[in-house]
Amino acid sequence: MPGLHISRVRALYRRILQLHRVLPPDLKALGDQYVKDEFRRHKTVSSDEAQRFLQEWEVYAAVLWQQAKDNRKNSSEKTCFGISLPEEKLDDFRDEQIGQLHELMNEATKPGRQFSLTESTEPKL
């Protein structure tokens, strides 16, 4: 990611993988692989795209941190991870990204999963 300090990228990457430790095993495995693939895929993007990439992953990390914190407080309730993806954000995605999102959704919502995503009719992040 040209133009960005590599320590910022690495710190965010490590933080996300650490946050994934609170996830159920199957969701952790899926999330870890997705993060690794995405960071690898974005190594050579433009500076503007790299900034957007990092901003979105920073938001993801903040949301996951808050959900993990809430889960610790309410350990008797069913854990839900994720947020709804606003439709207007989908308009900004390339076809390739929509395909990746669809594959991720299919993998995350397979029958017999051990975790729960936020219930909604909107696509999930």
pLDDT tens string 44-99 = 888 888 899 999 999 999 999 999 888 888 766 677 788 888 888 888 888 988 88
Give the separation between CA 5 and CA 30, rounded to whole angstroms: 27
**49 vs 56: CA distance, rounded Å:** 11
CA dist., res. 93 & res. 105, Å (int): 15
CA pair distance 31, 37, nearest whole angstrom = 10
Residue 122 falls inside a structural domain: no
Residue 124 lies in a domain: no
Does some domain include residue 78? yes
Q: Give the DSSP H or E segment for 46.
A: none
- State the Cα–Cα distance between residues 32 and 21, nearest whole angstrom: 9
Q: Give the confidence band of 121 by pLDDT, cuts at 50, 70, 90.
A: very low
Q: What is the pTM of this model?
A: 0.74
Could you give the number of structural domains in the chain? 1
Within a domain: 92: yes
Residue-range definition of the domain harbouring residue 72: 6-117
The confidence score (pLDDT) of residue 114 equals 52
Whether 13 is covered by a domain: the verdict is: yes
Of 74 and 123, the structure prediction assigns the larger pLDDT to 74
pLDDT tens-digit series, residues 7-54: 899 999 999 999 999 988 888 999 999 999 999 999 888 888 889 999
Task: Provide the pLDDT confidence category of residue 124 given band limits of 50, 70 and 90.
Answer: very low
Q: What are phi and psi of 70, to 5 degrees?
A: -65, -40
Asked whether residue 123 is domain-assigned, the answer is no
